[in-house]
Structure 1
């Protein structure tokens, strides 16, 4: 039987104030597992320091892809943004995270969140009540198991009593859209993962709430990893059209529609996003213009950037050029 060992907290838990290349990560499409692994390998070769992947409903399993990628890479950090909590018991999530940590010590950043009611209730059949309360319990269980090796939790949603074979201080980040989620992230998480939030909304609402909540708990504010869309094109009309096509479904999701309204960009009754909202979410232009915008965002108070490629004309070559741009920051 293996003894429990306590490992040091990895230095990557909060990457703030470091070189720009360390603070900008690339989103990798996980629709085909083998291609995702190859993209991660190529991103590391291009100098990218962090990749992120989203667990989409019924898509290949993200943490399994990370395990495969871990065996073919040596330094690139692997972040989930996010893995939905409802379909996975927290002990199962902890076991998967521990396996990846064994394969790639210090390289996993585990981003989790409740996802959306149409998916969790309409597809999986879960009852989604008070998702932030559910997420709070989930994070408490993961922290206890992974960081301390012992879980003694009796709550509204989970009753879990277990000893893990060893600890692994894997950063646990949470999804954030509205003020309540940013507050929760500041109180208990190792990072906030907003998705499709306009930058002014993050700076005026999300970041202040995050920092205030952390201060009230006597904690150092966790990093805010801002999600930005990037199109490697100077054709503004084509960029707007491609971006709208890629993200149009989010305007129909209530959680996002409410956040867009909070940010001053209400969507139409049918979920259609305005051109102003699209423009607020996507960065495009020349290599120099994109790098300059990255610099401005990182200087504005945002800790890191999570970069989602927007395919305009040639998806493969545009992804390659974006990875190279990030790797050369």
Structure 2
């Protein structure tokens, strides 16, 4: 009698058939969470999650916090694969101490986030939200925006997504400034500058940095005050990079031209939900709900990479492209 397939809990939304088939072909079975299609796994109560994890040796996770307590309560759980990038929702120290493997799906959503970033830049500059609001109120007067062509765009960070954004901006004949600790010689069309210089010179500031103690509130009241009048701020990275209260104050005072926000501090701090709501309601703010990496193509890539990460970890194989192991 052949052994039972290894149970892999899937708590991400929109886990597709191709990724499930890959698991099945490698002696694994995808166990769905039963969440509604529009629900995030961060909404799963602890008790329900504990029941779902019973007997699971792998877990493909989206937004749910992975704590040491959860891992300790489920000793059979060998690998946790985030369908996304960044380890900030996982207790990496706890996972290491308990001998668990944690992976991310690097590169799966890079094109999607870069496209979304450009969409936000263009939407804010061309005042598309304001125009749509006016037309919905039967006001058909022209809302005049601004060109992206010829503007100076500052990128804070030049990782995979920052590079993808830089390549797209190059096609708009923009001047691209970059603040990063690791300049890349393969990007000769950008100018590397200190962050203060970038903030002062840019018509658009776009954030592509990780969130940590050194970068929390990287864009606060002082940085916002130093930006050009009517400059645009775009954040498709992490909410904590921006002091949302300070950003709201700057917009209310008319010191900025607008903002494109895919992430908010309220994601980590529910007490800031009123601030996020006030920002999202403004006509000069284009807001999305941490959706920049959630194109159909990006989700499919992330699903498959996550499935490959799980199989490689369970079988002791070398990790395939895109599978990055925490601390590896």
TM-score class, shorter-chain normalisation, is: under 0.3
- TM-score (norm. length: structure 1): 0.25
Decide which structure has the larger Cα Rg and report it: 2
**TM-score scaled by structure 2?**
0.26
